[in-house]
A and B are shown apart, each in its own frame.
Chain A
Amino acid sequence: MKIVIIKYNAGNIESVNNALQRLGVKAEITGDHEKIKTADKVIFPGVGEASTTMAYLKKEGLDSLIPELKQPVLGICLGLQLMCSYSEENDTTCLGIFDEQVKRFVPEPGMEFVTKVPHMGWNNITNLKSEIFDSSLEQQFVYFVHSYYAAVGEHTAAVCKYINPFSAALHRDNFYATQFHPEKSGTVGARILENFLKI
């Protein structure tokens, strides 16, 4: 099985590679269009800011390549947000794979003492759908670090709540995405990556 991790100007890419290696899986980190197109599985990770990373994807022509991919694709964290249609983070038009808007968390008045932004730490996921999850993962804790979120919508594959409910995961056709970091989420995260590799 050929697994490609898309290389672009975002952090955290090596962490995903490390997680795959712990599962005994070899992946190639590359921005090469041909290699991405012919891979069996594609992972689109990332930690960073939406507008600069979108600008880079455009420059490299990856903005038109990624939405056309036919094999299973897994977006992680910023990857999920870039796969939506729009992000409030610096008013950025994104890839439009999921018809969702990415918004910033706004703490509700009077609740400031528990609503720190970014949402950082371990929170649990519910209402799980799609092949990357299984029944053993319902209510399990996974690791999040983010200030922006996609609301709950028709493509929501997992729900988490912080200030308000949001999409902890999205799924449409061959596209999967998690707002949390499976590569940092202990054995639960490893299982989610394994499930993705089995699709």
Chain B
Amino acid sequence: MKEQGLSEYHQYYFKNKLPPLWGGLGRGFMLAKRIIPCLDIKDGQTVKGINFINIQNVGDPVELGALYAEQGADELVFLDITATHEGRKTFVELVRRIAREINIPFTVGGGISELKDADALLSAGADKISINSSAVRNPKLIDDLAKNFGSQFVVLAIDARGENDYWTVTVNGGRIPTDKELFSWAEEGESRGAGEILFTSMNHDGTKNGFANKELAKMADMLRIPIIASGGAGNMDHFVDVFTEGKADAGLAASIFHYKEIAIPDLKNYLRGKGIVVR
């Protein structure tokens, strides 16, 4: 922070000749940037994660989610990577437990291809659902979900890989390319009624070299709905960059939180020190 309280965040906006933020230079009245840990679930258990001293069973998504919530996570994402029918039922039951125990909003995703899948998760207490491959196969699913449950309930997750500045939407964890292009698909998703975009860059995912800030910023300029950035988080400066250069509304990460490389309270303090509004 410089004298007169001009933060790096504001300096960035002034340097780029953007209009002043509506919150002015004060701390009050700002929508906070969100930090979102993502938990992969298989057969009702978290897949990643090492031992946390504070909790008994790191494999239990409810315990791990509650710990993150207590540490200041703003939202949680639970992705079901179970393929079996029995696993699906376990997941709905798990969502019911999460809703009972956790006092912050949470999104669930994985295997939602029909309205009734979403309805079961909503009834179980999910605040939002995320759809990915199923929306690529059947874009009308976005319209149907938004009409039935409201846009605020629908997160469109997009995995994409870039080559020579052309970004191809992929499915099945980035393994299968589709005929869709990232930016036009994001725009289509918004116009069909998605309430948020969760963009994962497959070029950056797992590299720990930072988020796809150029693409994120381009998307932010095009869309009017919030963007959750995913893929590439390796250190705390990467979050600073994604909220300034990348213009993202939220930053999502998994392993750096699960392997305790970054603690959420430290990250929040660091961002605050850089003048970024966090809770």
Chain A residues packing against B (C-beta within 8 Å): 11, 14-15, 18-19, 21-22, 47-49, 108, 110-124, 126, 139, 141, 143, 145, 160-163, 165, 181, 183-187, 189-190
Contacts and interface: CB of A to CB of B under 8 A. Distances in A.
B3 interface: no
A62 to B, nearest CB: 22
B69 interface: yes
Interface centre among B18, B30, B105 (most CB of A within 10 A): B105
Interface string B26-60: 01111110100000000000000000000000000
Interface residues of B, number: 39
Nearest to A49: B150
Contacts of A110: 19
B224 A116 contact: yes
A122 B19 contact: no
B23 A161 contact: yes
Given A118-B195, A122-B279, A161-B22, A22 B101 contact: yes
B31 A122 contact: yes
Given A15-B125, A141-B279, A160-B29, 19 more contacts: A14-B125, A18-B99, A18-B100, A18-B125, A113-B247, A116-B249, A118-B151, A118-B195, A119-B31, A122-B31, A123-B31, A139-B28, A161-B29, A162-B31, A181-B105, A183-B103, A185-B104, A186-B103, A186-B104
A141 B99 contact: no
Contacts of B256: none
Contact of B105 (A18, A118, A184): A184
B68 to A, nearest CB: 11
Contacts of B221: 113
A165 B19 CA distance: 19
A184 B127 contact: yes
Contacts, number: 99
Interface of B: 18-19, 21-23, 27-32, 34, 69, 74, 99-101, 103-105, 122-123, 125, 127, 149-152, 195-196, 220-221, 224-226, 247, 249-250, 279
A108 B195 CA distance: 20
A114 B244 CA distance: 12
B152 A118 contact: yes
A22 B103 contact: yes
Contacts of A14: 99, 123, 125
Nearest to A182: B103
A36 B103 CA distance: 26
A153 B188 CA distance: 39
Contacts of B152: 47, 118, 120, 145
